[in-house]
Structure 1
Amino acid sequence: MPRHNADIAAIFEEIANLLEIQDANPFRIRAYRNAARILNDHSRDVGTMLRKGEDLTCLSGIGKDLAAKIEEIVSSGHCSLLDRLHKKMPATIGDLLKIPGIGPKRVKALYHDLAVQTVEQLYRAARDGRIRELPGFGEKTELNILQSLEAHANQTQRFKLITAVQYAEALEQSLATVSGVSRVTIAGSYRRMRETVGDLDILVAAETSRPVIQHFIEYGEVNRILSAGATRASVVLECGMQVDLRVVKAESFGAALHYFTGSKSHNIAVRRIAQQKGLKINEYGVYRSDKQIAGQDEESVYAAVGLAYIPPELRENRGEVTLAQVGRLPQLVEQSDLRGDLHAHTNATDGHNSLREMALAAKSFGFEYLAITEHSRRLTVAHGLDPLQLSRQCAEIDKLNAEMDEITLLKGIEVDILEDGSLDLPDNVLAKLDLVVGAVHSKFDLSRARQTKRILRALEHPHFTMLAHPTGRLIQRRAPYDVDMARIIREARNRGCFLELNAHPERLDLLDTYCQMAREEGVLVSINSDAHSNHDFANLRFGIGQARRGWLEKDDVLNTRSLKALRQLLKQTM
């Protein structure tokens, strides 16, 4: 039975896909897609809201009909509309939509024109050269489909971090209620803040393991029990996620946490150092001969082998162990270091809240400033602003700034970088803004040389401030476009521009390795929410996790500066 926002969002996304394949009303399709996005982004659990008697229509974009369907799903575990749609379509159509690059529009054409209903039929159609004959496909698309099918066949199921959070936190809270439990921590790639999670590793400290194991296998979302022993158990949740539980004594909790957090290569590197010192390290502790000398907490584990404590996000064996030996690990950025957000939208374009509402939300989040960066006119699907509309918004910002205390709104734009590298708005308009955030929203399939040239030309623009979501990827939906990021980062350094780390959990863009590269080149990174509602600032936690994986310190991040210091840096790029 669906219990989390992600479950309900998945149902709405499936409804939108099936409606699109059936050529339904576009506005109806868009309503379900928007609802899915709102639910995925919303920080509060809507099931809890319903149990408290709250009206879901208070959520922007959720009307009475959608609110009623959410209530139906939460109470019954089903959506009657989805059931009706399934009866009209082959059951295997949904499998086609899981192939990267095969959206509902293409599935519609493949289904109606080639009678493709299964993944096997799709493969045969591509192999036989029949797909290229369809309008809007072509030989290149057919080849991409074949490559996607091959990649999909070899891919194990992984969940986006924001989805994993919903299941992990609920499980964590549930296990913490068991009598005798002193600590519960989610380990593995989840704790290392990887952008996707294959399964969950839960570690519990308790004197008696049996009540914990029993509570775990009887958890309401368990679909299948894989194993249940004296101190460990594995289950598969209804959402398809595997969860592995390990119960240990308090004196071994730190050693077990280190062991099950990983990564495997990091643990091997630490174990080798322990062996060189005549020590043995495992999930129960650090031992000299048969005597445990450390293990109650992770700090003691690292100290026992002569290492400074290494934060989980760094544990990928990328040089962190060597630096820990000499006490030169970076002091990683914290969410409390952020002084503002430099990428946000309002209902003037595709956001859901007013200018004032976004300002108040940023203020309550503890921010000193917020940049309003609507889309520019080229992005018609987002109702982008033309020069006159932007000018009107700037006047509204000036008026609001005169009224409000403790928060300052900055005037900006998320301007489209066109195919030739020019910007979507004229210089005389951009010159009046506090910052210009450039973004690629089209032509993702340009060659590496052309895509790189396009972005390099944009960076040369006299009013360019920051490159938004620099690789254009959408996790599990769209691969990064092919671009020479090393050249982009070096040119940003030469021009004094900045790079965004987009904290939206669908993006998490910059990649962690590019964050490291930017740090080494001295290019400041701005950790931005790309907020489209007043709840989206909560997503900054994911951006902070990505920044920490990328070794970023406070001084490496642009929006840890005060407003005064930020304005000085922005002036240098305008």
Structure 2
Amino acid sequence: MTNHELANTFRLIADLLDIQGEVIYVTLAYRKVADSLETLGRDIADVWREGKLREVPGVGKAIAEKMDELLRTGQLGFLERLQAEVPATLAELLRVPDLGPKKIALFWRSLGITTLAQLEAAARGGQLRSLAGMGAKSEAKILAGLESLRRRSGRTPLGMAYPVGVQMLIGLRTVPGVVDAALAGSLRRMKATVGDLDLLAAAADSAAVMQAFVSQPGVARILGQGNTKSSVEFVNGLRAQLWAHPPARFGTALQYATGSKEHNVRLRQLALDRGLSLSDQALTAADGREILCANEEEVYAALGLPWIAPELRGDRGEIQAALAGRLPRLITPGQRRAELHSHSTWSDGRASIREMALAARAHGLQVLAVTDHSGGLGITGGLKVEDIARQRAEIDAVQQEVGDSLRLLQGAEVEIRADGSLDYSDEVLAQFDIVVASLHTSLRQPRDQVTARLLNAVRNPHVDIIGHPTGRLIPDREGADLDMDAILAAAAQSGVALEINANPSRLDLDDIAARRAIGMGIRLAINTDAHDPEHLAQELFGIATARRAWVEPQHVINTWPPDALLAWLRSRA
């Protein structure tokens, strides 16, 4: 069994125990082990053979015995007995947004519901509303959750795929004979989620690079191995494929493999208009003469175009803009001067204000806003009103230590409550240097209601930034069903900035809404929402989302000189 398969087994156990009503610390133990397996970095079978299962984080004697049984036999008596008591298909119901184990147990024991299809049929037939704690609204919410579940893609979040792809790329470039290597596909275009990981290598002799690819650490299965293409599956379930091409043909191969499909169709038509055909091998003239391109710039130049950044390749007007000389000068990593959404130990952050400040300075930032959660978001602890002055004193002390190298701002990420009010009064909000307002709860409210909540925050003169506007979490939670037309119109009128949250679990605003925003003159903020100094490096994912939205540096308030940023904040006070 691979790490991924073993992790899924322990997650299934945890899910079924949850539905059965087991105490929380037992189910958490299984989930912790599943998470450890996914991030182990080694094949669990090797660890097992070395007799070191107990060294895996979270693995105690009982779980080690279960792992041993699974790895020896491929079966687990404990799980078989559990499935005899609780149908395994009930675990699928936990994927429905906002549906927990207690409700699932109620539906199962009262109505015999064990599958998603049975749940939907019961909800549409009005059978759920008569149960304890249910009603017509609850039933409608479940149907909406089932629709949401159908829309999920099953793709890998960018934040998980990208580091793996980069590590593979580093390895490929060290293989003797490899002249160049690159990421491709949706990973190179930096989409929020990706399918398989696509890579290309330029090598005169592909045998060595293909062997290195299929032999890299963490490979659980070789799905295919040839001279031109090889495919593997890793122990964590990710799949990757590598193409190898002669160096002289690498440019056309990379352009083709990067996509998107729609961009490539448009580009091939442009080639035909110029009497050429374009494939992954070469540009070919009508007389059969091949034009070989060792890099992408040569491909685009042969078609009368400047090079087009991968993030723009979606057939959303980029080729027309290139022909007209109007491609955007996209924002790049390192152009942000300010982090305007971060957390410390005053709420749910894992580092002190001083530690966050020193990390921000080391990251090259000139401004750091400490925006701890307001007190009403109970799961975070939150900054109480009576503690604001004490936090200000701590910020001032750290400011004195760092001097002019970094400007610290006291801010807050204030919760937009279910009734649309903000968690702090206007008098309290006025005390902060900067205010980020965000939705975290009651995201499944009807469209009009949840939109009205966000509009209240957009129009509040004390709010400077709307944080992660839809509240989505990739891949597990869809964002709120907002009327984005209304939100953008109000933001344009109020002058509030909308955030592209760089946390790869959010990437919210998405690139579609962000591009509409800059077209309306709305300012954007790219923030990492850092809860730990290491999170500041996630800037990369927010920048990538902004590039997909055709965003230039001047559109983003974090790129402004500190004096200009502070003047803008004062003008909103």
> In the alignment, which residue of structure 1 is the partner of 2:473?
474
Out of 292, 295, 298, which is 1:297 matched to?
A: 295
The DSSP-based 3-state class of the residue aligned with 1:133 is: coil
By how many angstroms is 1:135 displaced?
3.4
Aligned partner letter, 1:184? A
| Distance in 2 (alpha carbons) for counterparts of 1:230 and 1:515 | 42
Out of 57, 65, 68, which is 1:68 matched to?
A: 57
Does the CA-based 8 Å contact 2:93-2:104 persist in structure 1?
Answer: yes
> In the alignment, which residue of structure 2 is the partner of 1:329?
327
CA displacement 1:99-129 (0-9 Å, x = unmatched): 4454445444445554544445545544554
Question: Aligned runs of 1:232-247 on 2, under 5 Å?
Answer: 232-247=229-244
Question: Aligned runs of 1:493-504 on 2, under 5 Å?
Answer: 493-504=492-503
> In the alignment, which residue of structure 2 is the partner of 1:417?
416
> Which sections of structure 1, spanning at least 5 residues, go unmatched?
49-64
1:132 aligned to 2:168? no
By how many angstroms is 1:504 displaced?
1.0
> In the alignment, which residue of structure 2 is the partner of 1:374?
372
CA displacement 1:185-242 (0-9 Å, x = unmatched): 2211111111111222221111112333334344454444444333123344444444
CA displacement 1:396-443 (0-9 Å, x = unmatched): 111211122322221001111234433211222211111111112233
Deviating more after overlay: 225-234 vs 186-195 = 225-234
Does the CA-based 8 Å contact 1:338-1:367 persist in structure 2?
Answer: yes
Question: Aligned runs of 1:404-443 on 2, under 5 Å?
Answer: 404-405=402-403, 406-443=405-442
The DSSP-based 3-state class of the residue aligned with 1:404 is: helix
CA displacement 1:310-332 (0-9 Å, x = unmatched): 10001011111101112211111
The DSSP-based 3-state class of the residue aligned with 2:564 is: helix
Aligned partner letter, 1:267? N
Task: Go from structure 1 to structure 2 and tell me whether the alpha carbon gap of 1:505 and 1:278 turns closer, same or farther (over 3 Å shift).
Answer: same
By how many angstroms is 1:509 displaced?
0.3
By how many angstroms is 1:517 displaced?
1.2
The DSSP-based 3-state class of the residue aligned with 2:473 is: coil
CA displacement 1:263-304 (0-9 Å, x = unmatched): 111111111111111122111122323333342111111111
> In the alignment, which residue of structure 2 is the partner of 1:287?
284
Out of 376, 386, 395, which is 1:397 matched to?
A: 395
The DSSP-based 3-state class of the residue aligned with 2:498 is: strand
Out of 206, 211, 220, which is 2:208 matched to?
A: 211
Deviating more after overlay: 144-153 vs 552-561 = 144-153
> In the alignment, which residue of structure 2 is the partner of 1:276?
273
Deviating more after overlay: 213-222 vs 506-515 = 213-222
| Distance in 2 (alpha carbons) for counterparts of 1:558 and 1:232 | 44
Aligned partner letter, 2:332? E
Normalised TM-score (structure 1): 0.86
Does the CA-based 8 Å contact 1:486-1:517 persist in structure 2?
Answer: no
| Distance in 2 (alpha carbons) for counterparts of 1:170 and 1:133 | 54
Number of matched residues?
Answer: 553
Aligned partner letter, 1:69? G
Does the CA-based 8 Å contact 2:507-2:542 persist in structure 1?
Answer: yes
By how many angstroms is 1:96 displaced?
3.1
The DSSP-based 3-state class of the residue aligned with 2:526 is: strand
By how many angstroms is 1:480 displaced?
2.1
| Distance in 2 (alpha carbons) for counterparts of 1:110 and 1:117 | 8
Does the CA-based 8 Å contact 1:500-1:509 persist in structure 2?
Answer: yes
| Distance in 1 (alpha carbons) for counterparts of 2:244 and 2:295 | 15
Out of 180, 184, 191, which is 1:183 matched to?
A: 180
Aligned partner letter, 1:549? R
> In the alignment, which residue of structure 2 is the partner of 1:543?
542
| Distance in 1 (alpha carbons) for counterparts of 2:146 and 2:314 | 29
> In the alignment, which residue of structure 2 is the partner of 1:354?
352
> In the alignment, which residue of structure 1 is the partner of 2:160?
163
By how many angstroms is 1:258 displaced?
0.7
1:521 aligned to 2:520? yes
Task: Go from structure 1 to structure 2 and tell me whether the alpha carbon gap of 1:525 and 1:164 turns closer, same or farther (over 3 Å shift).
Answer: same
Task: Go from structure 1 to structure 2 and tell me whether the alpha carbon gap of 1:231 and 1:96 turns closer, same or farther (over 3 Å shift).
Answer: same
Deviating more after overlay: 18-27 vs 388-397 = 18-27
Does the CA-based 8 Å contact 1:496-1:572 persist in structure 2?
Answer: no
Out of 321, 326, 336, which is 1:338 matched to?
A: 336
By how many angstroms is 1:15 displaced?
7.2
Does the CA-based 8 Å contact 2:107-2:113 persist in structure 1?
Answer: yes
CA displacement 1:436-466 (0-9 Å, x = unmatched): 1111223323333333332222222221111
Deviating more after overlay: 322-331 vs 424-433 = 424-433
| Distance in 2 (alpha carbons) for counterparts of 1:23 and 1:390 | 41
> In the alignment, which residue of structure 1 is the partner of 2:381?
383
1:192 aligned to 2:181? no
The DSSP-based 3-state class of the residue aligned with 2:525 is: strand
| Distance in 2 (alpha carbons) for counterparts of 1:409 and 1:333 | 24
The DSSP-based 3-state class of the residue aligned with 1:131 is: coil
| Distance in 1 (alpha carbons) for counterparts of 2:479 and 2:8 | 23
> In the alignment, which residue of structure 1 is the partner of 2:254?
257
Does the CA-based 8 Å contact 2:16-2:82 persist in structure 1?
Answer: no
By how many angstroms is 1:505 displaced?
1.0
Question: Aligned runs of 1:14-25 on 2, under 5 Å?
Answer: 17=15, 20-25=18-23
> In the alignment, which residue of structure 1 is the partner of 2:446?
447
By how many angstroms is 1:9 displaced?
8.9
Aligned partner letter, 1:453? A
Task: Go from structure 1 to structure 2 and tell me whether the alpha carbon gap of 1:122 and 1:419 turns closer, same or farther (over 3 Å shift).
Answer: closer
Does the CA-based 8 Å contact 1:18-1:85 persist in structure 2?
Answer: no
Identity of aligned residues (%): 40
By how many angstroms is 1:489 displaced?
2.0
| Alignment root-mean-square deviation, CA | 3.6
By how many angstroms is 1:571 displaced?
1.1
| Distance in 2 (alpha carbons) for counterparts of 1:312 and 1:296 | 17
| Distance in 1 (alpha carbons) for counterparts of 2:484 and 2:386 | 35
Does the CA-based 8 Å contact 2:16-2:88 persist in structure 1?
Answer: no
The DSSP-based 3-state class of the residue aligned with 1:371 is: strand
Out of 296, 307, 310, which is 1:309 matched to?
A: 307
The DSSP-based 3-state class of the residue aligned with 2:244 is: strand
Task: Go from structure 1 to structure 2 and tell me whether the alpha carbon gap of 1:27 and 1:221 turns closer, same or farther (over 3 Å shift).
Answer: closer
The DSSP-based 3-state class of the residue aligned with 1:467 is: strand
| Distance in 2 (alpha carbons) for counterparts of 1:411 and 1:9 | 42
> In the alignment, which residue of structure 1 is the partner of 2:48?
none
Deviating more after overlay: 108-117 vs 499-508 = 108-117
| Distance in 2 (alpha carbons) for counterparts of 1:35 and 1:345 | 28
Question: Aligned runs of 1:9-48 on 2, under 5 Å?
Answer: 17=15, 20-25=18-23, 47=41
| Distance in 1 (alpha carbons) for counterparts of 2:303 and 2:359 | 46
| Distance in 1 (alpha carbons) for counterparts of 2:9 and 2:352 | 29
